[in-house]
Structures are given as C-alpha cells and as structure tokens.
Structure 1
Amino acid sequence: MTDATTHLRTEIGQQAEVIGRLVEASGPLRERMRATFAATDIDHVMLVARGSSDNVARYGQYLLGITCRLPVSLATPSLQSIYGVAPRLDRSLVVAISQSGRSPDVVGVLASGREQGRPTIAITNEPASPLAAVADHVIDLAAGEERAVAATKTYTSSLVAMALLAVALGDPAEAPKRLRDLAELPEVVEAVLAATPVELADRLVDTRHLLVTGRGLNYATAFEAALKIRELTGTVAEAFSPPDLLHGPIAALEAGAAALVIAPTEPSVASQRELVPVLRERGALLAIISADQDLLQAAALPFPLVREPAPWLTPVTSILPAQLLAARLASVRGMDLDRPTGLTKVTETR
C-alpha cells in the first residue's frame, strides 16, 4: 500500500478546498457570534477538547490571548466526569472542539457552561452531534467525511474555525485585514503541499524516538506533529517548547537521535534559532520546517515553507509538511495509513 492511494493522502490534499469553503461561508455566523459577545460579559475563555482537537485548543490559548487580550484556559473534563465537580464559569465563554462531537466528557463541560448561563460554542464536523445540541453557536467544519483515523483536514479546518472565532471576538477594526489573511490561506496551503519534499522522510525510517519542538502559536503544531507521527508510524515522538526542553529533558538527547524543529515566520522563531545549534552540538539528526534559509541550511532534512500566511495563521500551514512526513514514513514502513493498529476514528472518553 502506498500513501498516494489511501484516504489519508486524499484528505491531506483536500485541505485547501475545505478551508476555502469554511472561510467563505462564515460571514453570517461571525456576525451572530459578535452580537452575542457584545451583549455578554466575557472576561475569560474556557476551551475543552481531546486528541488533535486539544492541539487546536493550544493554538486558541495563544491566538485569543494575542488578538483579544483575554486569559484562556484549557478545561479539565475529569473534574466533572470523574469527580463530579463543575467549575464556576462566571464571565466565561465556553468553547468545545471535537470533530465527532460525541465524547461525553467534552459534551459535559459545554453543557455545564450552558446550564450556568454562559455563551457556548461548538467547533465540530458533525452539526447533528450531542456536542452541537448543547451549543449556542455551532461552527460546522463541513469538511466532509474523514475516513482515515488520523485527523488532517478536520484539524486544519478546526484551526481556521478558531481563527474565525478570534475575528468575531476581537477588535472590529482589525476584522477586514484578518479576513483578507484568511482568504489567502487556500492558495498558501496548495503551494506548501505541492512543494514539500516528502522523500526526505525516508531518512527517518530507522528512527524510533523523535523530539519535536515548537513555541508560541506553533507550540500546538509541535504537539500535533508529534501525535501524527506517533499514531501513524509508531515512532515515540515527544513535543516540547525550547525553554521546557532546555530545562532538563534535553539531557536524554543522544547522538544519532532525531529532532523535528517547527519554525515558521512568527515571533517565536527566535527561540528555535537559538535551539538549533544546541541540538546540532548534541549530534541530533535535524529535520526543520521553516522559511528561514539559515535554519534550512542547518538541517539534514530541510522542509521549506515556500509560501507562508500571515504570522497568526502559520499553524495552519506549518503542520502540512509534518502530515506528509508522517504519511510517507508510515508508507515506507509498510503500515496501514488509514487504520493504524489499535486506534479508532471516534474515542468516547468519560
């Protein structure tokens, strides 16, 4: 089986179309959400998700903090589902992210927000799901059926949904520019997918432990890249921010180990520039996703971002080479790209 004939590879290739459709259809919903926010006391955003959607929430933590100057926290669903304690959500906007909308613990947090009279939003690919039923507003990804277990088009479209939420919640004066940025995304996605040198992934065929780094807006990208590589290839992939890595875990990095550095053009790239010499000194095989020519020249496996969106949207495109890398590596190892061993498409956690 080759990656070119799988549902996964097809769905990776559909991402530009899905993103374009979502942005084009978003106008009426953005206005309804803006009206709700203007009439509501919101001083805080609570995000709840699992799996790949949790990485969308990590993006939301930074994005909403940057664009709306709001404190953003990730919910702890087990407080409610295991310990029976619902947190007070005074003055909070509660946002749940789930491609299936069927995980009971995620639904429970959103339902608690609604019971407490707080505005609730569901980001989901299933507008008839239990999650959507307890939301005041539903951002329907409309990505079409995702048949591969590993999320690709629902992940990037969820990132775009979070970006649309930031537009609705943020300064109205900035909205026209941000919408222009979003409208350019499909072309950028197509360019990055077409130009990624996937064959470089073959050099990682014997790698069993991979370090992945990202920071700021792309901290989420590091976690999602590690998850895709781990679930598709069985590689033990771990994500860190550069500061966290340097505070101890780097001690386990031995010569011959591999590292994937995610460094698109946004303010956090400075940390990656400082980290790369340290990784090289420790003998790591470096794969780097970036548009920075100096960083790419330092890489054994350079994955150039031939086009980039506005900095606030870089997580949408910086994950694309990692998706392709994971798919190629799984294919070379002879693994089933659509149904990784022991995984299912929907995981209903409680």
Structure 2
Amino acid sequence: MSILLSEINEQPVAMERALAGGKDAIAELVAQIKKREVRYVILAARGTSDNAATYAKYLLQLTVGIPCGLAAPSVHTLYEAEVNYKDALVIGVSQSGAGDDINEVMVQAKKSGALTAAITNTEGSRLSEIAEHVLFCNAGLERAVAATKTYTTTLALFAKLAARWAGDTALAETLWRVPDALRTELHRLSGRAETVAHSLTHAERILAVARGLHLCTAIESSLKIAETTHTTTQAFSSADLLHGPIASVPANTPCLLLLPNGKTKPMMLEVAAKLEGRGARVLTVSTDADAALPLTDTGTELLAPLVDILPAQLLAYHLTVARGLDPDNPSGLTKVTVTR
C-alpha cells in the first residue's frame, strides 16, 4: 500500500490521539485568552496549514464571536514592516514548525504584546519554541509529501479550542464522534472514489467550489489534486465564482462541489444548476443518495470540514495512480517547504 493511502486511512486513529492529548494545554490557553481579554485572532500559516487556518477563521467567528483574519507574512519578512498585534491572539500553524516566514510573524507578534499559540506536529520545532502555548497534532510521522492526517488533526484541534473557548459542551461531545464518522466515510468511499477518479484521467482542469465554513475544503481539495496529479485546479467560493469566473467554465469541465448539510447547501445547489446549465460536469459531495461522492454527516455543520475533505484526498490518490504517477513523492516537491 502506498504511504499516502496508508496515511489517509490512519486519520480516524490520528484524530483520536489529537483529541485525547493536550487537554491541559487548551485549558491553559483559554484561561489566558480570557484573562488578557483577547479582542481578535490572527492566523499565520502556509499551504495546507493555511487552509486549516481558513477553517479556523470561520469557526472561531461563529463560535466565540470575535474577528479572525489571516496574517500576511511577507509584510514582515520582505517589507520589514512592524505590525501592532496588541490584544490579539496570534496562532502559528505549521506541521513542521520550520517556516521562517510563519516564525517571524510569531516573533513580531510576541514582541508587540500579543498572546501567541502554535499548532504543529513537530515537538522541539522553532515554532513550538517561540509560542507561549503549543497544541500538538499527535498525528504521528507523516511521510507522504501530500499532507492528510496533519490537516484533519489540525482542524480537530481548532474545533477543540473553539468548543472550550465558547463553553459549548454539545460541540465538544459531538467532536468526539467525528473519528467514527471518518471511519464510516472511508468505508463508503471505497470503490466510489476510484471510479470517479478513473473517469477524470484525461481532465486538464478541475474546479472545486464551496461556500462559507467549507471554503477550506474546496481550497485544500484543489491543492491535493494539483500537487499529486499535476492537474490544473482552482478553488472558488461559490459567491466569487458567480461574480464573473463562471463565464470561463466551458462544457465538460469537472467541478467538485461541496454540499454538506447546513446553511450553505441551498445556495450551492443553485450554483450546481448554473454550472450544469453551462454543460459543466458537476460532481457533488453530499449526503444525498445521488451524490457523485458520498458524505457522512457529522451532526453539526461546524464539524463537517473534518470529514468532507476525505473524498478529495482519495480522489487525488486514485487519479494519481490512474495516471501512472507516484502518489507518495510528487515531482518537484519536498515534504517541508521553507519560505521567507
């Protein structure tokens, strides 16, 4: 079995480890958040970790009601500007903890008086040394270049933090059931993802579309498919797609649409109809019986992104294999990318 496929299948257990660990670390972080009266959150990340941060941007605003945004690391590293992060919680997210640009944001944030925290899979990393509070993914060593279990465990830690910060015991209890939802999803996707992947062997372009809380899944899906299969991909918020780019979608273009149960589903169905009207090939990921790729409901829309990335992960794997490529070592890529 390939390393990538093995790590995709490890995610239920990895998430259980992530949820079981770090209870004191999250409790201590939330205590400091309240003591220091944090007014807003800044998230610093790159690549897959940045997509996880996009989830947190929506989740924390929905659960604790304070503004959240993504950092612009080059403001510090290239333009050498200073930013006042006073009264902020600045969270650095990096599986390796080695990115110079993310670490520089953290250094500057700490210097200006922000409360700092890190989410990483690597103990002893530079990021874990800089941050005042550290939440470890406990995903185990991830050897495939394409990140999978570090992504979903990062989402789980954000959800755990949100539940504790908001005092939402129902969300916390539902979160503990997500690993079983992952197991169910993997079982339901068996065979289905491979069939869809084989039908995309000659696709030159694939779009991924979602809205709101699920935008992170569209972006991460696009990344996973692009980096493993060498396909040109693009992710859109459905709202942004309708503001012009839909005109560039020709007939037969595969469009992966995320339709988990919740607030975004009705408008996503409207987008699906518009794309079908243009002759695009719409591939839905939903709990509906006629979905191209089945989706397991998590019990709350807030946690759907922890599961709805699995179809794209498996689609990427099977499409890579169908094209005769190496799913574990995509051409020209390395596991750790250090940018400044």
Please, what TM-score do these two structures have when normalized by structure 1? Answer: 0.94
2: distance between equivalents of 1:162 and 1:193? 22
Q: Is the 8 A contact 1:49 1:98 kept in 2?
A: yes
Which residue of 1 is the match for residue 110 of structure 2?
Answer: 114
2: distance between equivalents of 1:136 and 1:268? 36
Coordinate RMSD, CA, aligned: 1.1
Match of 1:317 among 307, 321, 326: 307
1:264 Cα deviation (Å)?
A: 0.8
SS of 1:139 mapped into structure 2 = strand
Question: Which stretch shifts more, 256-265 or 303-312?
Answer: 303-312
Match of 2:204 among 199, 208, 214: 208
Does residue 305 of the first structure (1) align with residue 298 of the second (2)? no
In the TM superposition, what are the counterparts of 1:1-350 in structure 2 within 5 Å?
A: 5-170=1-166, 172=167, 174=168, 176-196=169-189, 197-198=192-193, 199-293=195-289, 296=290, 302-350=292-340
SS of 1:318 mapped into structure 2 = coil
Q: Is the 8 A contact 2:120 2:134 kept in 1?
A: yes
2: distance between equivalents of 1:273 and 1:26? 39
Q: Is the 8 A contact 2:220 2:309 kept in 1?
A: yes
2: distance between equivalents of 1:97 and 1:325? 26
Q: Is the 8 A contact 1:266 1:314 kept in 2?
A: no
2: distance between equivalents of 1:232 and 1:309? 31
SS of 2:330 mapped into structure 1 = coil
1: distance between equivalents of 2:105 and 2:262? 33
Please, what TM-score do these two structures have when normalized by structure 2? Answer: 0.97
Structure 2 residues not aligned, in runs of 5+: none
Q: Is the 8 A contact 1:127 1:138 kept in 2?
A: no
**Percent sequence identity over aligned pairs:** 38
SS of 1:205 mapped into structure 2 = coil
1:268 Cα deviation (Å)?
A: 1.2
1:233 Cα deviation (Å)?
A: 0.3
SS of 1:237 mapped into structure 2 = strand
SS of 1:73 mapped into structure 2 = strand
1:269 Cα deviation (Å)?
A: 1.4
Letter in 2 for 1:153: K
Encode CA deviations 1:164-222: one digit per residue, 9 max, x unaligned. Answer: 2212322x2x2x21211111011000000111112221101110101110111100100
1:66 Cα deviation (Å)?
A: 0.2
Q: Is the 8 A contact 2:119 2:135 kept in 1?
A: yes
1:27 Cα deviation (Å)?
A: 2.1
Letter in 2 for 1:247: H
2: distance between equivalents of 1:78 and 1:334? 37
SS of 2:234 mapped into structure 1 = strand
1:231 Cα deviation (Å)?
A: 0.3
1: distance between equivalents of 2:160 and 2:115? 16
Letter in 1 for 2:334: T
2: distance between equivalents of 1:216 and 1:30? 26
2: distance between equivalents of 1:266 and 1:115? 41
1:127 Cα deviation (Å)?
A: 1.9
Encode CA deviations 1:145-164: one digit per residue, 9 max, x unaligned. Answer: 11000000000001111112
SS of 2:42 mapped into structure 1 = strand
Structure 1 residues not aligned, in runs of 5+: none
Q: 1:231 to 1:211 in 2, by over 3 A?
A: same
Encode CA deviations 1:245-275: one digit per residue, 9 max, x unaligned. Answer: 0111111111111110011112111221110
SS of 1:168 mapped into structure 2 = helix
Q: Is the 8 A contact 2:26 2:135 kept in 1?
A: no
